[in-house]
Structure 1
């Protein structure tokens, strides 16, 4: 079964990323279509700032980074959990993603 949305939790920064802490998101929400492509993304940063992206908008409050949709097909969540790059990926409902999207986008407008 193909998921519609996932929550990525980054509890620590993987050692392969040698960037300033504020430029790496600690939590990411991704809405993923039937083909496995990201349609919308929300990123939360350690300093409390946010970023979001869709096919029509890209916004990020962190100066040294951009929030963009992935250009790669997203693997299933169990595969993402095995790659070692993120701490934990869970599937969420499309409705839950929509609630978060609305709160973030409405707050920024």
Structure 2
């Protein structure tokens, strides 16, 4: 059974007809996965992602839920996400902004 997770989804009106044209590997408007054309709703840089991003965040979240419950009495747990980016992601095809793994 899949548990829904709240990724703080918000519509970003600044992305209309921009994000769906990006290609992370080939586009000059993408630098280190950060879009140079569109800013997040908060005015900060945002990472353009594909549909796979929700699945990644879902599975990481589920793994942490299971791991932290199983290890809660063993030791103190700290986590560092080395590929977390700016914190907010935008799906290229939807113009919707979401929390990334850093948040």
What TM-score do you get using the length of structure 2 for normalisation?
0.27
Query: Could you say which structure has the greater relative contact order, defined with CA pairs below 8 angstroms and 6 or more residues apart?
Result: 2
Greater Rg over alpha carbons, structure: 2
What TM-score do you get using the length of structure 1 for normalisation?
0.26
